[in-house]
Structure 1
Amino acid sequence: MPWNVNDYPVSMKNLDPLVRKKAISIANALLADGYTDDRAIPIATSQAEKWFEDATADEKKAFQQEKNPQKNDKHEVNKNAKKLMDADVTIRYQDDQWEVRTKGAERASDQFDKKEDAVTRGKEIAQNKQSVLTIYKQDGTKQQEIDYRDN
């Protein structure tokens, strides 16, 4: 069920209003891609909090001035979303950075200078997706696999 700034999941109640607006927007797009409510909400909340943390003051101001998300907003549907929704997540060292990537995705969702930051983000994504996280060493050999499918 899509949401708006007046009707949103209880779990978003205590979010900063701008984070909540972003989370609602992201969650509605995820719903359009076929995610269920119980998966869209934590993913959207996590991504909105990350956006808020990384956004510049100008980006926050510009988003604040954008129209509020509506339940009937049209979203571009990602044809690959269903395929990537349950796909496993990997962490690999590439081009002098640690990349967090969903298997089958064209590009990394995140890049970090420190492996521990990549692992933290990878765990968050894999937990939200209830998938498997595979962590590789810098030399490309497998280090660890964490299964979040039954959590």
Structure 2
Amino acid sequence: MPWDLNDYPSSFKNFDPLLKKKAIDIANALISEGYPDDRAIPIAISQSKKWLDEATDSEKAAFKKAPAPKKSDRHGDKKINQDLLDNDVLVYHKNERWYVETKNAEKPSDSFDTKEEAVKRAKEIAENKESKVITYKKGESPAR
């Protein structure tokens, strides 16, 4: 169920107005991708707090001036594969790149020059999904 600044999850109630706006925006995007409410809310909280910590003052000011999220906002037609929601996140090396991929996904979600970058991204994804990261050594790869 999408939300707006007048109707939002009770867990957003005591948030700073800017944090609440960002959390609603993220949660609505996740809902539009097919995440169930009980998964979208904690991910939105985590990601909005991270955004608030890392955003520049100008990014915060621009977002503050942006229109408030509406229940009717469209966030694209991309849908997640519900079967992959709980799967672990893999990090492996192939063709001189480090890849991040959800186990059993059709393709990697990201690729990086270094293992450290890939592991960092995999940990972010796994934390949101409440799954774990499985890291392979150079030369090893996940069974296909």
Q: How does the TM-score come out when normalised to structure 1?
A: 0.68
Q: How far apart are the structure 1 equivalents of 2:8 and 2:40?
A: 12
Deviation at 1:39? Answer: 0.1
Residues 23 and 100 of structure 1: is their aligned pair in 2 closer, same or farther, counting only changes over 3 Å? farther
Higher-Rg member (1/2): 2
Q: How far apart are the structure 2 equivalents of 1:55 and 1:92?
A: 30
Residues 134 and 114 of structure 1: is their aligned pair in 2 closer, same or farther, counting only changes over 3 Å? closer
1:45 aligns with 2:39: no
Q: How does the TM-score come out when normalised to structure 2?
A: 0.71
Residue equivalent to 1:69 = 69
Q: How far apart are the structure 1 equivalents of 2:36 and 2:124?
A: 18
Q: How far apart are the structure 1 equivalents of 2:55 and 2:101?
A: 21
Comparing 15-24 with 59-68, greater Cα deviation is found at: 15-24
**Share of identical aligned residues, percent?**
52
Q: What CA RMSD, in Å, does the superposition of the two structures yield over aligned residues?
A: 3.4
Residues 22 and 35 of structure 1: is their aligned pair in 2 closer, same or farther, counting only changes over 3 Å? same
Residue equivalent to 1:55 = 55
Residue equivalent to 1:28 = 28
Higher relative contact order (CA 8 A, sep 6+): 2
Deviation at 1:91? Answer: 4.6
Q: Contact 1:102–1:108 at 8 Å: present in 2 too?
A: no
The AA in structure 2 aligned to 1:82 is: N
Unaligned runs of 5+ residues in structure 2 are none
The AA in structure 1 aligned to 2:66 is: E
Residues 62 and 140 of structure 1: is their aligned pair in 2 closer, same or farther, counting only changes over 3 Å? farther
Per the alignment, in what secondary structure is the counterpart of residue 110 of structure 2? coil
Per the alignment, in what secondary structure is the counterpart of residue 64 of structure 2? helix
Deviation at 1:93? Answer: 7.9
Per the alignment, in what secondary structure is the counterpart of residue 27 of structure 2? helix
Q: When you count strand as a share of all residues, which structure comes out higher?
A: 1
1:15 aligns with 2:15: yes
Per the alignment, in what secondary structure is the counterpart of residue 53 of structure 1? helix
